[in-house]
Amino acid sequence: MRMKSSISIIAAIAFLVAPLGQAVELSEEDSGKIARVVGFLLSQTHYKRTPLDDDISAAFLRKYMESLDYSRMVFLQPDYEEFEAKYGTLLDNLTKRGDVSPAYEIHKRYFTRLKTAHSWLEEIIWSDFDFTIDESFTPNRTKADWPATETEARGLWRKRIKYEVLGTRLGKRRGVEAMNAKANNGEVVKKTDGTPVKPYDIKAEKEKILRRYERFLRVRTEMDSGDVLQVYLTALSNGYDPHSDYFSPLEAENFEINNIKLSLTGIGARLQWDDGYTKLIELVPGGPAIRSKKLKPGDRIIAVAQGEEGNPVDVVEMELDKVVDKIRGEKGTLVRLTIIPVDAADDSETREVRLIRDKIKLTDSLAKGQVIDYPEEDGSRPRLGVINLPQFYQDCARDVAMILDRFQREKVTGIVLDLRRNGGGLLPEAVKLAGLFIEQGPMVQVIDSRRRKQVLQDNDAKIGYDGPMIVLVGKLSASASEIVAAALQDYGRALTVGSLSTHGKGTVQTVMPLNNWVRLPDSGKLKLTVSKFYRVVGSTTQKQGVTPDIILPTPYDYMEIGEATLPNCLEADHTQKLDFRNVNRVAKHVEPLAKLSSARIKEDQDFAYILEDINTLKDRLKDKSVSLSEAKRLAEKDEEKAKRETRKKERKARGDAEETVYDLTIKMIKTNTRLGEEVEDEEKPIRLEEEDEEEEIEEEEDRPTLDPHLRETLHILQDYINLLDPKKQIAAKENRAEAEIR
């Protein structure tokens, strides 16, 4: 989120971007003018109000070298030590004088080292790799030291290339085995899309890898002065916090499209270039990507193919705007993405995802409801309601109020507000939405860089819903969603349930055009952090997020996700507590509800799988290296495959879900459509042709109607309702007494 007109926050709804214009070459003198202004604005207007000093200089230098060499395989450790001795405490002074010569000097050294590394590649890649040797490689070297010598660097490049070649061998294994198994029958083995499985060609795969690195070298070669300045000044901005960035004119245009234009044709995903890969960092509600249920934030795209017949084009190390250009296209056309799933054991575990491009509209992100007929042990079926809010858009509080009104008509006895995938949006809407459940009062404190405080509060005494309520959150709940969860928790109005903590982004950014300070045709823009959110109790959501009352285990808690994992993020602190009326409906029930939930989780097979996945993830995080032994990797893949098959069989053997789930859309409410009926003339998203729908059903049939976390949250909600019902409490005591007698 970013600030506009004092404290009004606009939503950062990101979509695939269009190809941009040409970069603008800047002279070193002009670059210096821009750098001087960026340094001044950061020191004077950033939330921290920290002067541009030696400490910032040291962080600035390291971040710049890391940004150029994210894999720590190009620079040598002596390069860093040399530049640290020369510029470690001088970059601040040079920036104030408008001297950016270190940017180009360090970049020149980087390019020299890169050409040296590239000269080794052809010899390395055409060597015969021995995949029986028990050695390993760590693909993610972002926290490793730079190699001490060229010999050590060459050894790293050898392992990296070997790792990539082995990955292609393992990735083709299924097709090769199928061909070998059916070759005697003269059969032609085909993929699910009908295309023949090609035999593994190691020469072709090595050529593909070599072309990838040639493309990477060409991209680095084509970096102009504006590109270098972009990396350099972003490194300076990141010295203050990870959300502050400098945008060159080209990147500024990209940012505006990403964050303001709300209707572009594509797959509905926000992409980011990360360590040579194009990574999915956000899925737009209602878009093809999220509707497919086959993509998650953190998945990496390694190839893009057009239509049924197009060959996959390798996009590793490709510039982000070019990858985006390949993914975007005409509405109704097919694009095939080859991805490495975020939860893959290693980079050889890939799969193809087929998507039909569609127009992404803001209306696709509207709040949605579900009415669940919940089965009780006594045979009754009370009704529970779920509100899924993907983001805080304009008038979302009004839409949620409509759902709440319909819930009352449907005799819903308790609700869950699901914010697990809500990354934020309009702050005033978040305040209004929280106000639907509280009579009135302050909701959040916002403190700016001059330590001026503004309190945003709900002044409407009207309550939209006053019954039992749970706010369900996760690691992807951020910004405005954290404010709502925190307010309802602090007021004691709602029970919070979810992961160990929410995302932890409690800061506000603004974007400042630099043309007001630099008399150049286009000098770019500076995005910097200007304010911080604080809860009504005085603590902040920054870095620490919101800790739920009841924790449900999830692998997301152990992945490198969340504000606290970002380098140089702002610390959590406190301000004064506000005067507000705590309704205190939750505290006394947390302990018994947590005990009941814990007992259920211990007996729940889906949570047993989740806990098993968490332990596997923990083991991987302890040792991030990957074996380069083909036998070991094949054994690991076979073990993973067997585990998936076992789970699939177990889920299929279960009976049908006992609960009945009815979807409820805003249009259904407006047209007074009954539950279970379809809305007439409602535009439906474009889907794949019939055979692809069948394929989707086959993949989805082993999944429960409700995901394990939502189902357990509904169990907790019903327990909560029972605790509030005197008759239920008496019955529960009698049951416990009978159990003790028996």
| pLDDT tier at 279, thresholds 50, 70, 90 | confident
DSSP-assigned states of every residue in 161-176: HHHHHHHHHHHTHHHH
Residue 192 has pLDDT above 90, yes or no: no
CATH 2.30.42.10 matches 264-360? yes
Q: Rounded to whole angstroms, how far apart are CA atoms 382 and 618?
A: 39
Average pLDDT over residues 706-721: 96
In this predicted structure, what is the pLDDT of residue 289?
83
570: tokens are: 């702002």
Among the options 31, 365, 477, 479, which is catalytic?
A: 479
Q: Across the chain, what does the average pLDDT equal?
A: 85
* Structural element, H or E, at residue 68: helix 54-68
| pLDDT tier at 337, thresholds 50, 70, 90 | very high
In this predicted structure, what is the pLDDT of residue 258?
47
Average pLDDT over residues 87-106: 97
In this predicted structure, what is the pLDDT of residue 221?
85
Residue 177 has pLDDT above 90, yes or no: no
Least confident of 128-132, 223-227, 257-261, 294-298: 257-261
In this predicted structure, what is the pLDDT of residue 190?
54
Among the options 368, 475, 505, 637, which is catalytic?
A: 505
CB 534 within 8 A of CB 490: no
Residue 25 has pLDDT above 60, yes or no: yes
Least confident of 295-309, 418-432, 600-614: 295-309
The model's pLDDT over 252-261, given as tens digits with 9 standing for 90+, comes to 665 554 443 3
238 burial (CB, 10 Å; 0-12 / 13-18 / 19+) is: buried
Average pLDDT over residues 607-624: 93
- What architecture (CATH level 2) is domain 367-626+657-677? Alpha-Beta Complex (3.90)
In this predicted structure, what is the pLDDT of residue 219?
83
Residue 741 has pLDDT above 70, yes or no: no
In this predicted structure, what is the pLDDT of residue 501?
97
Longest Cα–Cα distance in the chain: 88
Task: Quote the pTM value.
Answer: 0.82
Residue 460 has pLDDT above 70, yes or no: yes
| pLDDT tier at 380, thresholds 50, 70, 90 | confident
| pLDDT tier at 200, thresholds 50, 70, 90 | low
| pLDDT tier at 199, thresholds 50, 70, 90 | low
The question of whether 57 is a catalytic residue gets the answer no
| pLDDT tier at 318, thresholds 50, 70, 90 | confident
| pLDDT tier at 340, thresholds 50, 70, 90 | confident
In this predicted structure, what is the pLDDT of residue 680?
67
Average pLDDT over residues 182-200: 53
Domain with CATH 3.90.226.10 in the chain: 367-626+657-677
In this predicted structure, what is the pLDDT of residue 286?
67
In this predicted structure, what is the pLDDT of residue 330?
83
Q: Rounded to whole angstroms, how far apart are CA atoms 315 and 323?
A: 6
Domain with CATH 2.30.42.10 in the chain: 264-360
Average pLDDT over residues 457-461: 93
Most confident of 534-548, 697-711, 715-729: 534-548
Which of the pair, 23 or 294, is modelled with greater confidence? 294
Average pLDDT over residues 298-316: 86
* Structural element, H or E, at residue 101: helix 101-125
Q: Which long-range contacts (CB under 8 A, 24 or more apart) does 58-61 make?
A: 58/84, 58/88, 58/89, 59/238, 59/239, 59/568, 60/91, 60/92, 60/235, 60/236, 60/239, 61/87, 61/88, 61/91, 61/102
Q: Rounded to whole angstroms, how far apart are CA atoms 235 and 220?
A: 17
In this predicted structure, what is the pLDDT of residue 198?
59
558: tokens are: 């152990």
The question of whether 162 is a catalytic residue gets the answer no
In this predicted structure, what is the pLDDT of residue 441?
96
Which of the pair, 257 or 354, is modelled with greater confidence? 354
The model's pLDDT over 659-678, given as tens digits with 9 standing for 90+, comes to 899 999 999 999 999 998 88
Q: Is 144 helix (H, G, I), strand (E, B) or coil?
A: coil
The model's pLDDT over 145-167, given as tens digits with 9 standing for 90+, comes to 999 999 999 999 999 999 999 98
Share of the chain above pLDDT 70, in %: 83
Average pLDDT over residues 338-362: 78
550-551/351-356 β-pairing: unpaired
Residue 21 has pLDDT above 80, yes or no: no
Q: How many CB atoms lie within 10 A of CB 258?
A: 18
Residue 1: C-alpha distances to residues 444, 469, 510, 709 (Å): 15, 27, 8, 28
The model's pLDDT over 64-84, given as tens digits with 9 standing for 90+, comes to 999 999 899 999 999 999 999
Least confident of 127-136, 290-299, 679-688, 689-698: 689-698
Among the options 347, 399, 418, 490, which is catalytic?
A: 490
At 324, the amino acid letter reads: V
Which positions ≥6 away from 367 have C-beta within 8 Å? Answer: 387, 388, 389, 390, 396, 399, 400, 403, 666
Residue 636 has pLDDT above 70, yes or no: yes
CB 215 within 8 A of CB 318: yes
The question of whether 67 is a catalytic residue gets the answer no
* Structural element, H or E, at residue 602: helix 587-603
In this predicted structure, what is the pLDDT of residue 154?
97
Residue 616 has pLDDT above 60, yes or no: yes
Most confident of 170-174, 374-378, 455-459: 455-459
| pLDDT tier at 11, thresholds 50, 70, 90 | very low
Residue 433 has pLDDT above 90, yes or no: yes
The model's pLDDT over 226-250, given as tens digits with 9 standing for 90+, comes to 889 999 999 999 999 999 999 887 7
The model's pLDDT over 519-551, given as tens digits with 9 standing for 90+, comes to 887 889 999 999 999 999 999 999 999 999 999
